[in-house]
Amino acid sequence: MNRIVQFLVKFDSRLVMGGMLLFVTLFAVEGWQLVLKKSYLDYQQTMTDKATFLKTEAQFATQISGIEESVRAVEQMYATLDAEFKQPASDDETTSVIEALDRSASQYGVALASVQPEGKKSISHFDALSFDISAVGTYLQLSTWMLSFTRTLDQHVSITEFDMKADKESEQITLSLSIVLYRPSQPNEVTQ
């Protein structure tokens, strides 16, 4: 260490002070680079993250309000459709369908146990008439009777539920099924 002091004494005091000042300045800059700049960059990253979060939060709030509006619209549509679907079928239509089913059943040797009208529903430009039917007969009689539905009732009949149960003592089978008949609505009854 004495050698360094003796070496520095040979120089002008202003030059030594300038060198020390340069050394302290370099030390301060290096300290700022190591200590302060990292904290400043972390602060900038935090502010950027906060701005991104606020922007994303605003977008989600907009999406959530849009979803809430959609939910209200769907609930309103369900209420409207529910009111439309619970229209009772007219007695003339119900009677004509029951008579056609009875004639067809007797033609194929099937005994109708019950025919329960379930009501009339409006679907687009069609009226859907639903019926729950119970019948008894042999397998072949019931099968041919069900195949004749499109001729007996009309082309727009659909079986929605179907269940057969055999009686072990006799050859009779009990059939339970639900059918829906689709018929064009009257022009003044069409709802859009």
Of 129, 89, 132, give the one whose Cα is nearest residue 114: 132
Give me the tens of pLDDT residue by residue for the chain, a chain 192 residues long.
Answer: 778 777 767 777 787 788 889 989 988 888 777 776 677 778 888 889 888 888 888 888 777 777 888 888 888 887 776 655 555 455 677 788 888 888 989 999 999 998 888 878 887 777 888 889 999 999 899 989 888 877 777 667 888 898 999 888 887 899 999 988 887 776 554 444
Q: How many domains does the chain have?
A: 2
Structural domain boundaries enclosing 173: 91-189
Q: Are residues 133 and 153 in the same domain?
A: yes
Predicted model pTM: 0.48
Give the alpha-carbon dihedral of 64, 66, 72, 77, to 10 degrees.
-140
Residues 99 and 171 in one domain: yes
How many other C-beta atoms can be found within 10 angstroms of the C-beta atom of residue 109? 13
